[in-house]
């Protein structure tokens, strides 16, 4: 069986799906690996490093696809590159079927197997493949670092002979994987941390990290069976707005992480709330790419509203591409291992396996 991967569009995506560490693992399973020339060079993984492990380095993208059983990527390649795919080949990545419906439908018609890893079920057996968690963890950390870099005051409390510098107050909106890592990072750096989430189950996790959980009535009703947040009622939204409006008056830095899978991000921080925030405050919106959690978020821009800076990026993980690639590549390897019939050395699309059934786009 042959596994291949080509470079992503470097202007959009610097992560890779096959690192030297995972290439070695594929080869140890008896799987051939082919990669595009200079595949990992931008991360310090030279072609020679891959070649020494037994990886075939190919210059022509079409040649790579021609000989592939499985194509491993971050996102869907361009239309031109997708045209190289043939019947019974498989593509694995973050395919975003909600935004790429027509492309996916065309691939299905060509009898190409499309596995979208963001659809993995939240079950114990899938934890080692969970790309959402591994990548969100890094995103939550980096959002705090980026926010603190733009904040023009000290973060921890400092007691000096000239007086005391108060600790910065940080609010995390959404206490999922990214939010929890943001809490932990901000706390380690000496900030006073608050967090809010529509899922009551988050309270204990937030408090275990040293954060103060802000909750409103009805929180316990807003969690899906899969552990995700679900859309709130109008009554709940009103209560949440009142709590947030008061809290934001004393907050220095806000990290927004609230997302509903497959939908536009909910607008949680409204225009009037931002007007009441202190000059010099920072909002980092990790939901920017899905519309943003604030009224003013614009992707890849820093918006200044009355001295409050609002920022969000297309892909914050491009600032941590090596760490993100190492985790993503391991997630993908674990997924392929589950898909691989070691005895017959081929893919086994067993739809009775929940992991395969949930991720295969049909």
Residues identified as active-site:
122, 127, 130, 133, 228
CA separation, residue 8 to residues 5, 76, 79, 181 (Å): 9, 9, 13, 27
What DSSP assignment string belongs to 270-327? Answer: -HHHHHTSPTT-EEEETTGGGT-SBSS--TTEEEEETTEEEEE-S-GGGGSHHHHHHH
- Sequence-ordered list of residues with C-beta below 8 angstroms from that of 37, at least 6 positions apart, any chain: 47, 57, 58, 59
Q: Is 145 left (phi over 0), alpha (psi -120 to 50) or beta?
A: alpha
Rg (CA), the chain: 22
Residues 116 and 22: their CA atoms lie apart, in Å, by 19
Among 140, 114, 130, 159, residue whose Cα is nearest residue 257: 140
- Kindly state the DSSP code that residue 4 receives in the 8-state scheme: E
Evaluate the CA torsion angle 176, 179, 185, 188 in order and state its sign.
negative
């Amino acid at each position: 069986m042959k596994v291949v991967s080509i470079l992503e569009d470097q202007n959009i995506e610097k992560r890779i799906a096959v690192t030297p560490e995972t290439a070695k693992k594929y080869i140890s399973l008896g799987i051939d690996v082919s990669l595009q020339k200079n595949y990992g060079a931008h991360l310090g993984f030279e072609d020679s490093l891959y070649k020494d492990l037994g990886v075939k380095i190919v210059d022509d993208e079409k040649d790579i696809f021609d000989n592939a059983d499985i194509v491993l990527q971050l996102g869907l390649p361009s239309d031109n590159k997708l045209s190289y795919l043939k019947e019974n080949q498989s593509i694995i990545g973050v395919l975003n079927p909600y935004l790429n419906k027509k492309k996916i439908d065309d691939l299905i018609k060509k009898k190409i197997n499309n596995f979208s890893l963001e659809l993995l079920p939240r079950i114990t057996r899938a934890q080692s493949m969970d790309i959402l968690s591994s990548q969100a963890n890094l995103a939550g950390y980096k959002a705090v670092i980026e926010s603190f870099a733009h904040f023009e005051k000290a973060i921890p409390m400092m007691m000096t002979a000239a007086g005391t510098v108060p600790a910065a107050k940080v609010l995390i909106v959404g206490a999922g994987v990214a939010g929890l890592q943001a809490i932990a990072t901000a706390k380690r750096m000496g900030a006073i941390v608050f967090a809010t989430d529509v899922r009551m189950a988050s309270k204990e996790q937030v408090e275990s990290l040293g954060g103060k959980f802000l909750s409103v009535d009805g929180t316990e009703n807003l969690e899906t069976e899969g552990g995700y947040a679900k859309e709130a009622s109008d009554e709940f939204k009103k209560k949440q707005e009142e709590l947030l409006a008061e809290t934001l008056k004393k907050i220095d830095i806000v990290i927004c992480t609230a997302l509903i899978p497959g939908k536009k991000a909910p607008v949680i921080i409204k225009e009037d709330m931002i007007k009441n925030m202190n000059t010099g405050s920072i909002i980092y919106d990790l939901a920017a790419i899905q519309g943003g959690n604030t009224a003013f978020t614009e992707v890849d821009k820093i918006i200044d509203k009355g001295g409050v800076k609002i920022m969000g990026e297309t892909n914050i993980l491009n600032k941590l591409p090596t760490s993100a690639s190492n985790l993503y590549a391991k997630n993908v390897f674990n997924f392929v291992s589950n898909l691989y019939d070691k005895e017959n050395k081929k893919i086994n699309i067993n739809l009775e396996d929940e992991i395969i059934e949930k991720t295969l786009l049909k």
